[in-house]
Amino acid sequence: MAGEVFRDWLISELGSGGLDAKKVCTISFMAAASGACGVSDLGYNPDAPSDGHFYSHLKLVLRLEAINSKFYWIRSPMTGKHAQGREKVWVPILNPVEEIENQFSGKLSDFWGEDDWLESLEEHPVTEMAGEGNRDEILPYSFYVDATPFSAESFYGIFITNLLTGISALCAILLKSEFCQCGCRGQCTLFEFHSALGNFLGAWAHKKHIDKRHDNLDWLQSDSERRDRAGFPTK
Ligand SMILES: [Zn+2]
């Protein structure tokens, strides 16, 4: 258990840029040699030359290429196993619009049909403003949150769905026991998630990639692809 927490912490520090690859490999190498559990595969000989060996090792072990291009790290107030009391912890989320729209290449107007719920979409001010001929411009997303019990714990998931195509993405998942407990009923934790998702959705509504992070921090190491396409038009 302690080994898992230690490993999770090392990985989240690596993702957020708090520790570089050499430090993560060296700490893991020494910890494993001292008898620590759960991190031996992250370890790499500290005497190795620093010309990319450490990062290459972690890239292989953790499949970092996939992680780096997909996850967006946010810093949210939490309480629980990763935090000593209430503190800001780095957690990964997915960009909902990338997850949804990259799975779809047809014409959205083909999905407008006779479903009952579509009446409210037909009468929506945005639909009326767009007019009949511009329905491919309308992206009706739903925002859905749900908690699922698992053993003695509950997972809290945030889903975004394109109501026309039905394509859905699970953007974030977190343990309810880790929500902030300052008396806010978890709102401190959720605010950061909603703010980050709103930044992605707002940019997409203007057919652009985000031009800055939702929290106004500098781009992280894991944001390199986002930095390169900041403000550029989407497909
Ligand atoms: Zn709070």
pLDDT of residue 172: 92
Token digits of residue 49:
């030359």
Residue 216 is given by DSSP the state -
CA–centroid distance, residue 214 to ligand 1 (Å): 19
Distance of CA 191 from the midpoint of ligand 1 (Å)? 10
CA of 73 to the centre of ligand 1 (A): 20
CA distance 190 to 212: 20
Q: Are 93 and 193 in contact (CB under 8 A)?
A: yes
Question: What's the 81 CA to ligand 1 centre distance in angstroms?
Answer: 16
What is the predicted pLDDT for the residue at 46? Answer: 86
**For every one of its 235 residues, what pLDDT tens digit does the chain have, with 9 covering 90 and above?**
778 889 988 988 887 778 888 999 999 999 999 988 889 999 998 888 777 788 888 888 887 666 666 889 999 998 876 556 788 888 899 988 888 877 777 777 777 776 666 778 888 898 888 887 887 788 888 889 888 887 778 889 999 988 888 888 899 998 888 899 999 989 999 999 999 999 999 998 898 999 999 999 999 888 888 999 999 998 7
Ligand 1 centroid to residue 185 C-alpha, Å:
7
Alpha-carbon distances of 219 from 72, 201, 224, 227, rounded to whole Å: 10, 18, 7, 7
What pairs with residue 93 in β-bridges?
72
Give the residue ranges of DSSP H helices in the chain. Answer: 2-16, 21-33, 53-62, 64-70, 96-101, 118-122, 125-130, 187-205, 224-228
Residues measured by CB to lie within 5 Å of ligand 1, the ion: 180, 182, 184, 188
CA of 189 from ligand 1 middle (Å) equals 7
Q: Which of 67, 61, 116 is nearest to 94 (CA)?
A: 67
Closest to 24 (Cα-Cα) out of 6, 42, 47:
42
Residue 13 to residues 17, 20, 155, 234: CA-CA distances in angstroms? Answer: 6, 8, 23, 30
What's the gap in Å between 86 CA and the centre of ligand 1? 8
Q: Tell me, what's the pLDDT at 190?
A: 92
Residue 194 has a pLDDT of 93
- Phi, psi of 156, rounded to the nearest 5 degrees: -115, 120
Give CA–CA dist 200/181, Å, rounded. 27
Q: How far is the CA of 179 from the centre of ligand 1 (A)?
A: 8
Instruction: Report how far apart, in Å, the C-alpha atoms of 207 and of each of 1, 110, 198 are.
Output: 44, 20, 14
How much distance in Å is there from the Cα of 76 to the middle of ligand 1?
A: 10
**Beta partners for 145?**
158
- Per DSSP, the residues of 98-137 read HHHHTT--S-GGGG----TTHHHHHTSHHHHHH-GGGGGG
| Ligand 1 center to 83 CA (angstroms) | 14
Q: What is the pLDDT of residue 36?
A: 87
Give residue 217 CA to ligand 1 midpoint distance, Å: 21
Spatial separation of the C-alpha atoms in residues 105 and 162, rounded to whole Å: 13
- Could you tell me the distance, in angstroms and rounded to a whole number, from the CA of residue 183 to the centre of ligand 1? 6
Please give the structure tokens belonging to residue 211: 């031009």
CA 178 to centroid of ligand 1, rounded, Å: 11
* Interval between CA 145 and ligand 1 midpoint (Å): 18
Q: How far is the CA of 161 from the centre of ligand 1 (A)?
A: 28
Task: State the distance from the centre of ligand 1 to the C-alpha of 78, rounded, in angstroms.
Answer: 8
